[in-house]
Structure 1
């Protein structure tokens, strides 16, 4: 098993940057990963150095109507006290407040419209459940958690 290599597609410009794709070293099928290199770098750093240091984390999927999924999520997160430390486009979000942080992303492809993969970190499982519950009840979004780190007892 080899990790995929990232490629910068200069023929697909976006917001003064370009599309980031990934594929294996043999040049097989490529997968669009991030709309811009700047978002990929910000997402990775935020995931590792903000979300990843939280005592409890969960990963999953937020699903909703394809048009404007993030525009419906943004006000909920704002009401919960989250800010967006880095401006992002229509396929990526970074949210933080003092006690919690979340990254969301989806590949810039029509196949994934209406879906955002998320990783949320906070002090404990109860705090994360309250945040996810607010997202699910205050909007037309569905939340599915796939994994807790560390696993819940």
Structure 2
């Protein structure tokens, strides 16, 4: 059982001991043949890989690369800052904190995910960064305490540590 000859042929030969079972004539040969199995279909292509997690500008990666923050968080971010985080996994973002300058069009200080700007106290909670990119921009006016956004579970924190 389980042995398949390379040529795909099994040969059986009667010794004539039991006439009528398998062959009427001693020395008769039976051959069982089958078609070679068709090759299995190739596996589906892997989803596009994002570049490794990296950042440009002053926004640090934190929590072992599971989060990013505005510069100087939880202190106030600076004026005229820009940064980009690349390679963010395609999972819903968790906004841990979000407090940036508010204006109706988010033209001054804003975090951008999927081309949408977020400002004020409403960050991109649950948004999936489809292109793996998060961008931060602050202007030369008002500053606030900034933001912390995560994309992977973080270890629990213990109060007082």
TM-score between the two structures when normalised by the length of structure 2: 0.24
- Higher-Rg member (1/2): 2
- Identify the structure with bigger relative contact order (alpha carbons < 8 Å, sequence gap 6+): 1
TM-score between the two structures when normalised by the length of structure 1: 0.25
